[in-house]
Amino acid sequence: MPSLFQPVEFGALTLSNRIVMAPLTRARSNREAIPNALMAEYYAQRAGAGLIISEATGISREGLGWPNAPGLWAEEQVEGWKPVTEAVHGAGGKIVAQLWHMGRLVHPDLGGGQPVSASPTTAPDYAHTYEGKKPYVEAREATKQDIKRIVGDYAAAAKDAIAAGFDGVQVHGANGYLVDQFLRDSSNFRADEYGGSIENRLRFPTEVLEAVGGAIGMDRVGIRFSPNIYSQGVEDSDPIPLFAALAQRLEELRVPWIELREAHQPTSAGAVPTEPVSPAMRPLYSGKIALNSDYDGPSARARMAEGIADAISFGRPFISNPDLVERLRAGAPLAPGDLATFYSGGASGYVDYPTMDEAEAA
Ligand SMILES: Cc1cc2nc3c(=O)[nH]c(=O)nc-3n(C[C@H](O)[C@H](O)[C@H](O)COP(=O)(O)O)c2cc1C
């Protein structure tokens, strides 16, 4: 079995190790969703990862409902990302952009109109807005024209990602956002060819992947799912057959890598995970699989040894351990993160976590 420290190919990308930085929204952009120099510093500090997956990045104004999250639909955003990707490359790393449409989770205050989703549904809980939390509003069912436009937005954002210097993209298909809203039977009640059967529920993600692959080459495309957790009101009554069919589809499409947020314990949101889907997907999909959620060094090694994962992605550990790869190599303890600064804006709790050497010197 390969170790975490051996190289691996994710399509066109050769990763120098199998420790992936999971996508982490950190809300440090401005209201126009433009990235900045602070973000370049943050990502460059974490360039030891075999691959950095960027924080979720809006493909359109309509699709972005998180205050101070970045985007990839305007020229200024592309320009803002360039120093970020240059800094990561300068530090020897690789970075892909996570492409995000939040669907029904976009509040009109941010998206500018009634949100779209697979079906007219309302997400549970509260939306984040610049004026604090507000109840979600009911989404309208995406028309065929909406679907065509949104698929086009994904492709345009993927092209913008390459123009901004990213090594590729990851389609955000996880956590109850638009792709997930189409995929699952708790949020997709459509009667047309985009809803109902598994085959129909795969149609939207398939069209997105075909468009993005067509725009930048499928060898630079990955996708993320969260198959076995309830997330923001989205789940499935029968995940195993759905994700087995999805694995076959990803194989046909030649998507070179996927990331699964496959929880093994209750999530921080309290959702209890159902059976893992990766054992059912592995025999049907020959691309690379990165597994995520709640790993540390020993549990990551143990999971790699089971032969399903080609890589392990780490989220929270990368927030508070910029040199996570070196710490895992040394078997050193991991520093805890400060939840209060996860989304707070500013440098504090963002670029000031020390490396092992800096901590020792202090
Ligand atoms: C602060 C924070 C921001 C996150 N932002 C994103 C995101 O932008 N996109 C995404 O797919 N998942 C996001 N997640 C989920 C993480 O990628 C990851 O799945 C989760 O933290 C579990 O992995 P871990 O146990 O290694 O932290 C976020 C999680 C946290 C804690």
Query: 114-140 burial by CB neighbour count: b if 16+ within 10 A, else e?
Result: ebbbbbebebeeebbeeeeeeebbebb
The rounded distance, in Å, linking the Cα atoms of 236 and 174 is 12
Shortest-distance Cα residue to atom 21 of ligand 1: 315
DSSP secondary structure of 87-99: HHHHTT--EEEEE
Active-site option among 42, 177, 194, 285 = 177
23 lines ligand 1 (CB under 6 A): yes
224 lines ligand 1 (CB under 6 A): yes
pLDDT by residue for the chain (362 residues), tens digit each?
789 999 999 999 999 999 999 999 999 999 999 999 999 999 999 999 999 999 999 999 999 999 999 999 999 999 999 999 999 999 999 999 999 999 999 999 999 999 999 999 999 999 999 999 999 999 999 999 999 999 999 999 999 999 999 999 999 999 999 999 999 999 999 999 999 999 999 999 999 999 999 999 999 999 999 999 999 999 999 999 999 999 999 999 999 999 999 998 776 666 789 999 999 999 999 999 999 999 999 999 999 999 999 999 999 999 999 999 999 999 999 999 999 999 999 999 999 999 999 998 98
28 lines ligand 1 (CB under 6 A): no
Distance 332 CA to ligand 1 centre (A): 23
Distance 193 CA to ligand 1 centre (A): 32
177 classed as catalytic = yes
Distance 231 CA to ligand 1 centre (A): 12
334 lines ligand 1 (CB under 6 A): no
Closest listed residue to residue 102, CA positions, set 162, 145, 67, 62: 62
The atom number, within ligand 1, closest to the CA of 263 reads: 22
349 lines ligand 1 (CB under 6 A): no
The rounded distance, in Å, linking the Cα atoms of 209 and 255 is 8
57 lines ligand 1 (CB under 6 A): no
pTM (predicted TM-score) = 0.98
188 C-beta neighbours (distance < 10 Å), count: 23
The atom number, within ligand 1, closest to the CA of 69 reads: 8
314 lines ligand 1 (CB under 6 A): yes
Distance 338 CA to ligand 1 centre (A): 14
